[in-house]
Structure 1
Amino acid sequence: MAKNAAAVHRLSTKAPCFPVLLICLVYTLPTDAALLCYSFTVGKSGSGLWWHKVQGQLNEETFLSYDSNNNCHVIGVLGNKLNATKICEKHSDTLKDGVDLLRDEVIHMKQKNNTIREPLTLQARLCCWHEVDGHFNEFWDFGLNGHKMLHVDTSTGEWTEVDPGSSWMKEMWEKNRDVTAFLKMTSQGDCRAWLQEVKSHWEEMLESTASPTAAPDVNQVLSLAIKPNISLPLIILPCSVLLWSLRRILDSEG
Structure 2
Amino acid sequence: MAEIGDAASLCYSFTVGKSRSGPWWHKVQGQLNEETFLSYNSSNNNYQVIGVRGNRLNATKICDKQVDTLKDGVDLFKEQVVHMKRENKTFREPLFLQARLCCWHEADGHFNGSWDFGLNGHKMIHVDSSTGEWTEVDPGSRWMKEMWEKNKDLTNFLSRISQEDCRAWLKEMIMSLLEEKLEPTASTTTTPHVDQPLSLAIKPNISVPLIILRCSLLLWSLGRILDNEG
User: TM-score under structure 2 normalisation?
Assistant: 0.74
Letter in 2 for 1:98: G
Question: Displaced runs of 4+ in structure 1, greater than 6 A?
Answer: 205-208
Aligned: 1:96 with 2:71: yes
Shift of 1:206: 7.0
State yes or no: 1:63 paired with 2:37.
yes
**1:46 corresponds to which letter in structure 2?**
R
The aligned amino acid for 1:51 is W
Correspondence for 1:154: 129
The equivalent position to 1:140 in structure 2, one of 93, 115, 131, is 115
Matches of 2:181 and 2:91, distance apart in 1: 46
CA contact (8 A) 1:73 1:88 kept: no
* Aligned partner letter, 1:148: K
Report what 2:162 is aligned to.
187
Aligned 8 A contact 1:128 1:138 in 2 = yes
Partners of 2:51 and 2:71 in 1: CA distance: 22
Aligned AA for 2:107?
V
Q: Mean alpha-carbon deviation: is it higher for 62-71 or for 162-171?
A: 62-71
Q: Distance in 2 between matches of 1:195 and 1:138?
A: 12
Counterpart amino acid of 2:38?
Answer: L
Aligned to 2:206: none
Structure with bigger RCO (C-alpha 8 Å, 6+ apart): 1
Aligned residues: 181
Aligned match of 1:34:
8
Quick one: which amino acid aligns to residue 23 of structure 2? L
Offset, 1:199: 2.0
Q: 1:160 to 1:106 in 2, by over 3 A?
A: same
Decide which of 114, 118, 123 is 2:98's aligned counterpart: 123
Q: For the aligned residues, what is the CA RMSD?
A: 2.1
* Structure 2: gaps spanning 5 or more residues: 184-230
Q: Could you list the runs of 5+ residues in structure 1 that have no partner in the other structure?
A: 1-25, 209-254
Q: Is the 8 A contact 2:7 2:174 kept in 1?
A: no
Structure 1 contact 161–167 (Cα < 8 Å) conserved: yes
Superposition deviation, residue 89 in structure 1: 1.8
Give the Cα–Cα distance (whole angstroms) in 1 for the partners of residues 173 and 62 of structure 2: 9
- Do 2:113 and 2:162's aligned partners in 1 also have CA atoms closer than 8 Å? yes
Match of 1:46 in 2: 20
Structure with greater Cα Rg? 2
Q: CA deviation at 1:133?
A: 2.5
Q: Structure 1-normalised TM-score?
A: 0.67
Given candidates 165, 168, 183, the residue that maps to 2:143 is 168
Q: 1:73 maps to what in 2? A: 48
> SS of 2:6's equivalent?
coil
The CA distance in 2 between the partners of 1:122 and 1:67, in whole Å, is 14
Local SS of the residue matching 1:64: strand
Q: Quote the Cα distance in structure 2 between the aligned partners of 1:35 and 1:194.
A: 10
The percentage of counterpart residues that share the same residue type is 74
